[in-house]
């Protein structure tokens, strides 16, 4: 490559990157998942529009798998272990048995309703059975949902990529015949077990090293944390184990360890995850040929509807039935099974393996992901309200560049005061938040004010709070209690539990 060619490549890459960032901002303002805009950038740059020819499925598979690893490392680093640990059992069942049920039901529908032969039907079922970590992390963290629901969906999307990839590889390589179920199950158990062991070991090693080794520059700490996640991914893959589960678990261990410069590490990981997402989706947009997509539109719509309305609900309700989760939450989890980059990357596996009809599968999966992301993503807030899952005034993390907060080991939270909330008419001093939690700012009618002790809260106010991790749960419970029953909540027996208590006298929540 000449120096002039290098300039052209860098210019093209920089323009595409900036276009992707602009697309992310536009998507956020429109309430749409950003992956759609990244895919659109790739399609526009591709051979049918601007003429950039990219048709190397093997390179797309390799780069896509590496990008997924980086996205999962970022997901692990930014996931709160407290939200996930009590959900390991249901998340594990959804990520294993749920995947199996979804594959079986989807393949059956594709075979009998669409006429696909069994090999392609099983491949298609395996490819689209996994929820997408990038889409889930990006969309759900902006919604005021109970931690139980968000944590379960995030854990499922972090864990279910590994068994799905194993199934797709098995079906892609089954040219002469399908292996027995016992062989498939044994392979999955080995890869998951070995990958988990590698991920946990590397994560703990990285946490120990970062706590005991003084690095010469602050910027090296986040780079080292992400580096350990990549090492876990590569080491597990080299051992024929699941690198995907190793990457996620190593990030989870590192992200929840008491490490120096934690805020900087999370911020760097988030930036690296965004870079991986932009590159991945643009590349996948380049890979498809838009002129081939109309011929598979009806097939993609048919299998997508069957997945959304039959296969996903069946797998969710069967897997979560033993855990006595409310039906409304199960219904929301079923609807929130977002698909994104993972199915499109997985669709390259049979193309690389030379499976007959694999190119049609790639086009079907691409159309399915685009159409149903447009359907599911924007409707998640509506579904959350209709199903009664959304929490009015629910607290949520605010992602800010906050070196002082990192030094103080504090969190910045917001809470809304909706109409009818018990927080209305309550003075700041009457909140009686556990110290050192403090209300630092009130946003009211488009302007901000620094509250005094006697500042009375109104409907529509947005409060900014700084809390330490030690009192965060207590502060949240206190605010929930007042929001439900007013400043005398404790006299009514309301203690702000995550699930509202039932008033024994009035018989209401």
Backbone angles phi, psi at 369, to 5 degrees: -60, -45
Predicted confidence band at 176 (pLDDT cuts at 50, 70, 90)?
low
User: For 267-310, what is each residue's pLDDT tens digit?
Assistant: 888 888 888 888 887 887 787 777 888 888 888 899 989 988 99
Strands 447-449 and 411-416: unpaired
Distance of alpha carbon 162 from the chain centroid: 15
Q: Which of 203-212, 306-315, 319-328, 392-401 has the lowest mean pLDDT?
A: 392-401
Predicted confidence band at 181 (pLDDT cuts at 50, 70, 90)?
confident
Q: Which of 304-313, 391-400, 419-428, 462-471 has the lowest mean pLDDT?
A: 391-400
What is the CATH number assigned to the segment(s) 3-179+274-386? 1.20.1530.20
User: For 427-446, what is each residue's pLDDT tens digit?
Assistant: 999 999 998 889 999 999 88
Give 51's DSSP letter.
Answer: -
Q: What is the mean pLDDT of residues 480-487?
A: 87
Q: What is the mean pLDDT of residues 233-261?
A: 87
Q: Which of 103-112, 395-404, 427-436 has the lowest mean pLDDT?
A: 395-404
User: Which has the higher per-residue pLDDT, 505 or 108?
Assistant: 108
Q: Which of 140, 385, 136 lies closest to 248 in space, CA to CA? A: 136
What residues does 397 pair with on adjacent strands? 413
Burial 276-315 (b: 16+ CB within 10 A, else e): bbbbbbbbbbbbbbeeebeebeebbebbbbbbbeebbbbb
pLDDT on residue 509 = 33
396-492: in CATH 1.10.150.20: no
Structure tokens at 165: 């990839």
pTM, two decimals, is 0.70
DSSP H helices in 213-356: 220-238, 243-255, 262-287, 297-306, 312-320, 327-335, 341-352
pLDDT of 504 above 50: no
User: For 27-60, what is each residue's pLDDT tens digit?
Assistant: 666 656 667 777 777 777 776 677 677 777 788 8
Angle (deg, nearest 10), helices 147-159 and 327-335: 40
pLDDT on residue 480 = 87
pLDDT on residue 145 = 76
Q: Which of 406-410, 461-465, 488-492 has the lowest mean pLDDT?
A: 406-410
pLDDT of 393 above 60: no
Backbone angles phi, psi at 242, to 5 degrees: -85, 110
The residue ranges of every structural domain in the chain are: 3-179+274-386, 396-492
449's enclosing H/E stretch is strand 447-449
pLDDT on residue 442 = 92
Q: Which of 126-130, 233-237, 310-314, 341-345 has the lowest mean pLDDT?
A: 341-345
CA 280, CA 327: separation in Å to the nearest integer? 35
pLDDT of 260 above 90: no
Q: What value, to the nearest 5°, has the Cα angle with vertex 438 and ends 433 and 439? A: 105
User: For 55-106, what is each residue's pLDDT tens digit?
Assistant: 777 888 888 888 888 888 888 887 777 767 778 888 888 888 888 899 999 9
Q: What value, to the nearest 5°, has the Cα angle with vertex 230 and ends 214 and 173? A: 165
Average pLDDT along the chain: 81
Predicted confidence band at 8 (pLDDT cuts at 50, 70, 90)?
confident
């Amino acid at each position: 490559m000449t120096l002039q060619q290098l300039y052209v490549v860098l210019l093209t890459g920089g323009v595409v990157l900036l276009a992707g960032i602009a697309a992310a901002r536009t998507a956020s303002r429109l309430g749409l998942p950003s992956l759609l805009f990244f895919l659109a950038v790739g399609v526009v740059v591709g051979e049918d529009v601007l003429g950039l020819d990219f048709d190397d499925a093997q390179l797309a598979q390799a780069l896509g798998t590496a990008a997924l690893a980086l996205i999962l490392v970022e997901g692990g680093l930014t996931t709160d272990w407290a939200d996930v640990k009590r959900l390991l059992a249901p998340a594990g069942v959804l990520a294993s048995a749920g995947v199996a049920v979804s594959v079986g039901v989807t393949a059956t529908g594709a075979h009998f309703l669409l006429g696909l032969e069994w090999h392609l039907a099983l491949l298609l079922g395996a490819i689209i059975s996994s929820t997408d970590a990038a889409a889930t992390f990006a969309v759900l963290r902006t919604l005021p949902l109970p931690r139980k629901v968000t944590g379960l969906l995030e854990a499922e999307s972090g864990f279910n990529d590994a068994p799905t990839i194993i199934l797709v590889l098995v079906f892609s390589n089954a040219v002469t015949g399908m292996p027995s179920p016992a062989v498939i199950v044994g392979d999955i158990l080995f890869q998951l077990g070995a990958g988990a062991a590698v991920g946990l070991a590397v994560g703990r090693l990285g946490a120990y090293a970062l706590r005991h080794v003084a690095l010469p520059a602050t910027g090296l700490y986040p780079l080292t944390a992400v580096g350990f996640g990549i090492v876990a991914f590569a080491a597990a893959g080299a051992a024929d184990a699941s690198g995907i589960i190793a990457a996620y678990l190593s990030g989870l261990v590192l992200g929840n360890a008491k490490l120096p410069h934690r805020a900087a590490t999370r911020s760097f990981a988030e930036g690296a995850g965004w870079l991986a997402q932009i590159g991945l989706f643009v590349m996948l947009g380049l890979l498809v040929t838009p002129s081939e997509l109309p011929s598979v539109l009806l097939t993609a719509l048919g299998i997508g509807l069957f997945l959304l309305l039959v296969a996903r609900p069946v797998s969710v309700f069967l897997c979560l039935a033993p855990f006595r989760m409310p039906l409304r939450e199960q219904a929301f989890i079923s609807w929130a099974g977002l698909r994104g980059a993972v199915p499109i990357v997985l669709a390259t596996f049979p193309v690389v393996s030379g499976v007959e009809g694999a190119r049609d599968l790639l086009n079907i999966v691409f159309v399915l992901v685009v159409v149903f992301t447009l359907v599911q993503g924007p409707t998640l807030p509506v579904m959350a309200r209709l199903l009664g899952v959304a929490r009015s005034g629910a607290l949520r993390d605010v992602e800010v560049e906050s070196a002082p907060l990192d030094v103080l080991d504090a969190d910045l939270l917001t809470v809304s005061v909706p109409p009818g909330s018990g927080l209305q008419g309550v003075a700041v001093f009457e909140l009686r938040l556990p110290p050192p939690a403090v209300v630092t700012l009130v946003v009211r009618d488009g302007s901000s004010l620094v509250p005094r002790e006697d500042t009375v809260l109104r409907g529509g106010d947005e409060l900014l709070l700084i809390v330490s991790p030690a009192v965060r749960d207590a502060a949240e419970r206190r605010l929930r209690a007042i929001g439900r029953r007013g400043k005398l909540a404790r006299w009514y027996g309301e203690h702000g539990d995550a699930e509202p208590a039932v008033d024994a006298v009035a018989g209401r929540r």
